[in-house]
Each structure stands twice: as C-alpha cells, then as structure tokens.
Amino acid sequence: MKNTALGFSDWVSMGLLSLGYLVYTGFLLPIGSDDLRMTNVFSIDESDIVAHVWNLFITHFQVPPSFKYGGMFYAVPVGLLHLCSLFFSVSEQTAIVAVRLYCSMSGLGCLWMTFLLGRWAFDSFVGFISASMLGLNPTFLRWAIEAHPDLPQLFFLLASLLCICKYSNAPTLKRLVWASLGAGLAFATKYAGIFLLPVFGLAVYWSCPFTPGMGRLKTRGLWIQWSVVAGVFTGVYLLTNPFVFSHFSELLSSLRLEKETMGFGHRIRATTGAWVWLHMVVMQVGMIQAGIGLLGAVGWFFWYREPLAVEHKIVLLWVAFFLLYLMAESSLKRARHLLPILPVVLVFIAAAYRLIWQRMTLRFP
C-alpha cells in the first residue's frame, strides 16, 4: 500500500508554488472587468459566458442554461453570486470576477491534482516538477484568468484520474465511486468526461481476478462495477443538469453543433492534417522537454525493461485515447484542446528527468 500522507517538504514546495500562482492570478483577474462591454473587447466567449451567468442569477434559473457547456459550469458561479448578494450588492463586475475566480481556483486545484497524480504514479519529486511545469505553461496560465470551462473541467478530470489510479492499486467501491463522480462532474462541465468511461472500463477489467480467456467477462463483480461507473456518472450529470429532462432535444442539437464545429472549423474549413496535433503537443511542452521525455522512454526500455505499473497504463491510455479522438474528429486545432492530457504528459516528462538523473548519478557518482 502506497503512503499517501504528505510530508513537510511537500507542503512547503507546493505552498510556494501555489502562492506564486495566486499572486499572478490575483493581479490579473480584475483587469478589464468593469462591465460586459469591456470584457467583450478582450474575449467574445468570456462576455457571452458571463452574460449567461448573470442572466441565470437574475432569473434564479427559471430559464434553462445554455447546453454549449455543462450546467455545472454555470451553477458554481451563480451560487457564488447568491452568496455574495447576502453581504453586498452585486453587479456585472461582480459576476465577471466571480466566474474568473472560479476558473482561477480550478487552476490552483489542477496544480495540486497534478502534484498528487505524479506523486502517486512515481514520487514527490515527479509530482512537484510536473506541477511546476504546468504552472509555467502559457496555455494553462492564459485560461487561468479568463471565464472559460477548460480549467474547471481539467480539475475534475485530474481528480477522477487520481481516484481511478488509486482504485487500480487497491480496488474498493469507494474509490470507484469517487472516480466516477469526478468523471461525471467533468462531463457536467464541458463534456470531455465521457472519454474517461472506456479508460474506467479497462481499469475495472484489469482489477478483476485473472481468469483465462473470456472468463473475466463472466465475472458478476465486473458487471456490477461497470454498472456503478455508469450509474454514478449518469446520476451526477442529471443532478447537475436537471433541465436535460425537459430540453433533451436542445442538448442533442448543441452537442451536434459543437461536433460539427470541431470537425469543420469556425466559419471556414480547417485544412491542417491530423498529425498537427502531435506537433502541437511538442510545442506545448517545448522541444527540449519533449526530447527529455523521449530519452526517458527509451532509457526505461533499455535500462529497466520492466512492465508498466497499472496506474501508468491507465493514464497513458487516457492520453492515447483522447489524442486519437482529436486526430480523428477535430479539425479545429486550439492549444487549449490539449489541456485534458497536458498534465499527464508533463508527469511523464518529470519522470524522465528523474530517471536520467538517477542514471547519471550511478554512472558518475
């Protein structure tokens, strides 16, 4: 059983990283937040999102939220506005800052989840280095100060991946429920959580006692756990998006429109090839970092030749599955679309740094 208790050095290192992140976001969050017209100058998407949140706050959710994003993304800032209204008068500026604050705090949660995921999969060094690289990534920082669901979704994705990795190490129903809850909340925020379900299905399959051939599929416990995943995932989404029951056709239309946009592009057809996504991954982590990661992967194969731990298989499967989806279905290429897999890629790059350092110290003591 792995030790999950954080040491003093873990708290200090992550505390300093968190402080630096909060200083950065705290300085930039209020900029351009005078009113909705001001936000529209910088970002039309942000202006539309905040206007929608403001309308939901004024009407007390008497009208259904937009299905462009999940209802969870709107519910949290609306709840924050209602809380603020108990103490002072709220305005459009309050709404802008509230939504940005929600996204910013989600970004802080992403740093901690990346640290915990790297620590669980490898050790504290890998966790801290990967969290630091994420905290310095321009795409991550860009969306940490704007009202957009990418970082709230990423937080739930990472929390879900951490729980399913812990489940794979010591399968319990509690851990499976928590993992399914995180996936459901991610889907209730911006729909990428649906891609975790195949990963969960394989994780549960691998956790079952080995039986030859197709024997596992005949195991009652396997089907019960798959049912738990599907039930919790669906239940969380429906609880956080109750308007789906009365506006299901609107949900389908919105999802269909988003799929068409991703496949075609905004206004004009996107013509770049699928392999551009791989180039974008390299650009997101940097050429040097990508080279270190490749060197670490080759080194692992030649130096250790050990089978990957099941938690490593799970997170790598997530990266491969999501990247294949982007390559197959998405012609609209934006750096933020890679955020769901970026922290995991950085975890393995940090692990490559550690591996190379260990080999150097053995070679040159």
Q: Give the Cα separation of 25 and 193 in Å (integer).
A: 26
pLDDT of residue 359: 79
What's the mean pLDDT in 312-336? 88
Residue 5 lies inside a defined structural domain of this protein: no
**Residue 298 structure tokens:** 């080759």
Give Cβ neighbours of residue 64 (< 8 Å, ≥ 6 apart): 243, 246, 247, 250
pLDDT of residue 301: 77
Tens of pLDDT along 208-254?
A: 766 655 666 777 778 888 899 999 999 999 998 888 877 777 777 77
Residue 67 lies inside a defined structural domain of this protein: yes
DSSP 307: P
Q: Which amino acid is residue 283, in one-letter code?
A: M
- The angle formed by the CA atoms of residues 349, 150 and 89, to the nearest 5 degrees, is 135
Residue 359 lies inside a defined structural domain of this protein: yes
Residue 2 lies inside a defined structural domain of this protein: no
Q: Per-residue b/e over 324-338, b at no fewer than 16 CB within 10 Å?
A: ebbeeebbbbebbbb
Give DSSP secondary structure letters for 85-126.
HTTS---HHHHHHHHHHHHHHHHHHHHHHHHHHHHHHT-HHH
The pTM of this model reads 0.91
- Compute the radius of gyration of the chain from its Cα atoms: 21
Q: Give the Cα separation of 173 and 152 in Å (integer).
A: 25
DSSP 5: P
What rounded mean pLDDT belongs to the chain? 86
Q: What is the largest CA-CA distance in the chain?
A: 69
pLDDT of residue 137: 95
Residue 245 lies inside a defined structural domain of this protein: yes
pLDDT of residue 297: 84
Tens of pLDDT along 81-115?
A: 999 888 988 888 888 899 999 999 999 999 999 99
Q: Are 346 and 130 in contact (CB under 8 A)?
A: yes
Residue 80 lies inside a defined structural domain of this protein: yes
Give DSSP secondary structure letters for 9-64.
HHHHHHHHHHHHHHHHHHHHTTTT-S-HHHHHHH-HHHHHHHHHHHHHHHHTT-SP
Give φ, ψ of 270 to 5 degrees: -80, 130
Number of domains in the chain: 1
Residue 262 lies inside a defined structural domain of this protein: yes
Q: Are 51 and 36 in contact (CB under 8 A)?
A: yes
Domain hosting residue 161, numbered range: 11-363
Q: Which residue has the higher pLDDT, 156 or 212?
A: 156
pLDDT of residue 265: 56
Residue 4 lies inside a defined structural domain of this protein: no
